[in-house]
Amino acid sequence: MTQSLRDRVAIIIGSSSGMGRATAVTFVEAGAKVVLAARRQTELQSLASELGENAIPCPTDIQDTKKVERLTKLTLDHFGRIDILVYVTGTNIPNRSLKVLSDQTWNMMIQTNLTGAFYCTKAVLPTMRQQKEGLIIYISSAAVQFPDTSGVSYQASKHGLVGLAHGTFKEEKENGIRTSMIFPGLTDTPLVLQRPVPTPPETVAKALQPQDVADTCLFVASLPARTYIPELVLMPAGLA
């Protein structure tokens, strides 16, 4: 499996920490060339130095279409193609209940978790169409299958990713472009710290690790182009 990404080019959105960082490391170890995208420049440069010549940083605010276009241009200029896009970035806020959720916070959540994914999808599609091949992996949340108190803005945005993924596949499958949705359950990432009530340490100890999600992304990306995984739910066994 680890040889199947040899010389494939992947853009990892949200690669400065957590699941995105683990995915970037895992893809490079599997032979891929990776463009590291996130807002935090220092973290990206540090990771790129750690990974070597097969990884380059590109600080990117995915809410800015011009910066997303710059990201794809840099990828093509440096590596010549775009085979895989992994949209791992996402956010949540402590003040998430309907009683306190503001219009501004709602818009920020939708912009980051969903609209940014649309911008990135739209940016890579022309190259993937030309190649007649491409894979887009979106990281959503198990809250889509199992509604919880993660907040309506978070859940709405993560549900929206499903429509983006499936709609894109229906429109682009004749161009060889596939999409996959991954729905992780509780994962031990910095996002857990955004909960209004701290998660008990004994619960976090049973959570998924970022590497579990990275390995799942690698599995999906390593499959041949004739395969299609519309959705994959990944849950921590101890909390299921």
- Interval 14-40: pLDDT, tens: 999 999 999 999 999 999 999 999 998
Cα 134 to Cα 173: distance, rounded to the nearest angstrom:
10
Angle ∠(42,39,113) on CA atoms, nearest 5: 145
Cα 161 to Cα 85: distance, rounded to the nearest angstrom:
14
Domain ranges for the chain = 9-239
Is the pLDDT assigned to residue 2 strictly greater than 50? no
The percent of residues in the chain predicted with pLDDT above 70, rounded, is 94
- Catalytic residues, by residue number, are 154
Q: Is the dihedral of CA 180, 185, 189, 193 positive or negative?
A: positive
Confidence of residue 231 (pLDDT cuts 50, 70, 90): very high
Cα 124 to Cα 119: distance, rounded to the nearest angstrom:
9
One CATH from 3.40.50.300, 3.30.1490.100, 3.40.50.10440, 3.40.50.720 for 9-239:
3.40.50.720
- Interval 180-209: pLDDT, tens: 999 998 888 766 655 666 667 778 888 899
Phi-psi domain of 34 (left: phi exceeds 0; alpha: psi -120 through 50; beta: other): beta
Cα 127 to Cα 136: distance, rounded to the nearest angstrom:
13
pLDDT at position 191 is 63
Over residues 127-133, the mean pLDDT reads 97
pLDDT at position 209 is 93
- Interval 42-95: pLDDT, tens: 999 999 999 999 999 999 999 999 999 999 999 999 999 999 999 998 777 777
pLDDT at position 7 is 87
Q: Is the pTM of this model over 0.85?
A: yes
Helix (H) or strand (E) holding 118: helix 116-131
pLDDT at position 117 is 96
Confidence of residue 1 (pLDDT cuts 50, 70, 90): very low
CA-to-CA separations, 42 to 2, 49, 59, 67, in angstroms, rounded: 28, 11, 9, 17
